């Protein structure tokens, strides 16, 4: 019986290790996905920034064209001014030239503002491009690392599965069946060690009589509270 109890303990340990490995394995592709999301997010922001830059460039060019128009207009008007005889017309044209000069100044201000905006966006874009390329490189190396880790964990998992199979085979079939049953209904833990007369799974006390018998380690016991297999701590060291 001692031997069977030891097997149960080992089976429980192996199952916990397997659980951990499976969880690890499931979490690994998630890490890659997170990085991919980050790259996609940065790329989208970069593209939005590129669009803003393009719009600012277009606006800058528009105001440049306006200024050129204004200059041409003033030039033409000044030529016309020479041939005007009527004072009233002359004054009117002078005022128009003045107005156009004012528009030109305003348009120049706007053009300069957009030039500065283009400069700023350009700088910003360069930094973002650099960041993106860094994160991309990071993604590539992390992906490779995680992929090799996945292979390692898979190998470890299949080794552990084989070991588990061996333990399960050595266990009496009815005990194995019972183990699976308890495990299924007790949150994956079917075997609990008892220390200081307390079940480590449910943290309740084991009756003294049972505790005494448990310490002998020659009969199979169940926790009277959580109904898991129990074993005495000192016994686990002797496996
Ligand atoms: Zn218990």
Quote the CA–CA distance of 31 and 189 in Å, as a whole number: 28
- Measured in residues, the chain has a length of 239
Q: In what order do the strands lie in the sheet with 191-195?
A: 198-199, 191-195, 229-232, 221-222
| All structural domains of the chain | 26-155 (1.10.287.1490), 174-236 (no CATH)
**Average per-residue pLDDT for the chain:** 94
Write down the residue that tokens 């307390």 correspond to. Answer: 198
Bridge partners, 193 (sequence order): 231
pLDDT at 100 over 70: yes
- Helix (H, G, I), strand (E, B), or coil: what is residue 201? coil
CA–centroid distance, residue 24 to ligand 1 (Å):
28
CA–centroid distance, residue 229 to ligand 1 (Å):
8
Quote the CA–CA distance of 168 and 176 in Å, as a whole number: 7
CA–centroid distance, residue 12 to ligand 1 (Å):
15
CA–centroid distance, residue 159 to ligand 1 (Å):
31
pTM assigned to the model: 0.67
Contacts of 122 (CB under 8 A, 6+ apart): 53
Q: What are 66-93's pLDDT values in tens digits?
A: 999 999 999 999 999 999 999 999 999 9
Extract the tokens encoding 60.
Answer: 């800058």
CA–centroid distance, residue 206 to ligand 1 (Å):
8
What pLDDT is stored for residue 219 in this prediction?
84
Extract the tokens encoding 208.
Answer: 């003294």
Q: What are 138-180's pLDDT values in tens digits?
A: 999 999 999 999 999 999 999 999 999 999 999 999 999 999 9
Quote the CA–CA distance of 224 and 178 in Å, as a whole number: 16
Q: What are 31-49's pLDDT values in tens digits?
A: 889 889 999 999 999 999 9
What pLDDT is stored for residue 237 in this prediction?
46
């Amino acid at each position: 019986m001692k031997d069977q109890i030891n097997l149960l303990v080992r089976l429980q340990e192996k199952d916990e290790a397997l659980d951990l490995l499976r969880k690890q394995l499931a979490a690994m592709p998630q890490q890659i996905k997170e990085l991919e999301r980050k790259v996609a997010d940065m790329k989208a922001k970069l593209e939005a920034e590129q669009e803003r830059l393009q719009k600012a460039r277009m606006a800058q060019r528009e105001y440049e064209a306006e200024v050129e128009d204004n200059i041409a207009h003033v030039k033409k008007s000044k030529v016309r001014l020479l041939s005007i005889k009527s004072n009233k017309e002359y004054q009117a044209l002078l005022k128009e030239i003045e107005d156009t000069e004012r528009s030109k100044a305003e348009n120049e201000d706007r053009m300069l503002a957009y030039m500065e905006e283009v400069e700023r966006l350009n700088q910003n874009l360069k930094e973002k491009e650099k960041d993106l390329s860094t994160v991309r490189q990071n993604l590539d190396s992390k992906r490779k690392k995680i992929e090799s880790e996945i292979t390692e964990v898979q190998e470890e998992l299949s080794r552990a599965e084989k070991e588990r199979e061996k333990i399960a085979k050595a266990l009496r079939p009815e005990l194995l069946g019972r183990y699976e049953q308890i495990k299924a209904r007790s949150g994956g833990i079917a075997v609990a060690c008892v220390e200081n007369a307390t079940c480590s799974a449910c943290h309740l006390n084991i009756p003294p009589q049972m505790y005494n018998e448990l310490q002998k380690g020659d009969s199979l016991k169940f926790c009277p509270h959580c109904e898991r297999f129990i074993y005495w701590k000192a016994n686990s060291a002797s496996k």
